[in-house]
Amino acid sequence: MNKTLLGYVPNESPIYAVHPFVKLFFLLVVSLFPLFIAAPEWNIMIMIFILLMMWISRVNMKTLRIYIPVAISMGTIIFLSYTVLGGIHPEYELLLNVGGVRFYWERVRDAIVVYFRILPMILTMVFFLTTSRERDLIVAMRSIRTPFVITYVFAMALRAAGMVLEDFQIVRQAEQARGFDSKGKSLVYKIRKYVMYMIPLFALSLRRSEEFTNALIARGYAFTGEFSRVKRADYVLTHYQFRTSDSIMTAIIGLSFIAILVLRYGFNYFNLDDSWIFAWLHQLLWGG
């Protein structure tokens, strides 16, 4: 496992043979799939497919555990928003009435639909983060001729995020060394004392940005003027070749998206009326 600013990536993986652009294209396009799919079983299939891709890519599946709390809290928020905070709808089928809080079948169903739309999107992002290094992102953006300024600002943002995290650890250790430790204290206490971390962190960030600007200028980077218009060689791209297999994968991803659109809007696929999960659930709750 190698640590990146974005997470952990495997040391060796067949996915490294894939051009970074294909990975970025996969992220951007496949995460759109669930938006056009209402029936959860199809979105579950997308999730299974992505998990399979992760396994093939030798991603350490244990790292997925860190996303479980996110998935649970997100599910809870969605469920509460659609049910407890979902309002009164006499036209809907009432499932339960708990102390005046009405749980309607349609609202529960909608919560499940939304949740199973978001989960594959997150999983697609996790797949990207667990198989891509920071450099891949930059290469992917540069290979589609994104202006250097944009890719560079993006790279600097990634770099800055890593530095802030490192600085935060330094400040935290310095505070702990002087006897301040919020471990085991209440959340209110932690929030109140958070300023003790924030002020030095803010000061450090200002200093870092000054040093960073100096470093950029010292390396001959000009923000304006004649020397800012120098034609850049994009040396990093010489390490990557867009092979036939990459073209095929890009085409498959693109065609899959088109196929989903055609099936959804041309043949009315993926809708709730045909969902066997909901048919089964409805039958279970109402008994026929």
Partner 1 sequence: MTAIIEFKNYTWRYLNTSAPALKNINLQIEEGKFIGIIGPNGAGKTTLAYSMDGLVPGQYHGIKDGEVIILGKEVEKYERGELQRSVGMVFSDPEAQFTAMTVEDELVFGMENLGMSISEIRERLEWVTDLTDLKHLLNKPPYEISGGQKQRVALAAVLAMTPKVMLLDEPTSMLDPISRKRVFDVLAQLKREQSNTVIVIEHSLENLIPLADQMVLLSDGEVMLFDETQAFFQQTSLLVEKGIHPPGAARFFHELQQKGYYAGDIPLTVEKAARKLGQMLPEFPSREEASRT
In the complex, minimum distance from the CB of residue 159 to partner 1, in angstroms, rounded to a whole number: 7
> Is 264 one of the binding residues for partner 1 (CB under 8 A)?
no
Among positions 90, 177, 235, 266, the unique one binding partner 1 when judged by CB under 8 A: 235
Question: Rounded to whole angstroms, how far apart are CA atoms 58 and 74?
Answer: 27
Distance CA 207, CA 138 (A): 26
Q: How many angstroms separate the CA atoms of 160 and 205, rounded? A: 9
Choice between 73 and 214, CB closer to partner 1: 214
- Alpha-carbon span 7 to 60, nearest angstrom: 11
Regarding 163 and contact with partner 1 (CB under 8 A), the answer is yes
| Beta carbon of residue 11, minimum distance to partner 1 (angstroms, whole number) | 12
CA distance 31 to 125: 8
Q: Which of 48, 80, 153, 215 binds partner 1 (CB under 8 A)?
A: 215
Q: What is the DSSP letter of 93?
A: P
- For residues 68 to 107, the per-residue mask of contacts with partner 1, x marking binding by CB under 8 A and - elsewhere, is ----------------------------------------
Own/partner contacts of 239-243, CB < 8 Å, gap of 24 or more, are: 240/19, 240/20, 240/139, 240/143, 241/19, 242/19, 242/21, 242/143, 243/19
196, HSE (Cβ side, Cα atoms, 13 Å): 15
Closest CB to partner 1 among 180 and 221?
221
Residue 214 binding partner 1, by CB under 8 A: yes
Closest to partner 1 by CB, 44 vs 160, is 160
> Nearer to partner 1 by C-beta: 194 or 223?
223
Contacting residues for 4 by C-beta, under 8 A, at least 6 apart: 132, 133, 134
Q: Does residue 233 touch partner 1 according to CB under 8 A? A: yes
Among 27, 47, 138, 249, binds partner 1 (CB under 8 A): 138
Beta-carbon count within 10 A of 46 CB: 22
- Residue 259 binding partner 1, by CB under 8 A: no
Binding site for partner 1 (CB under 8 A): 3-5, 133-135, 138, 155-156, 158-159, 162-163, 166, 208, 210-228, 230-236, 238
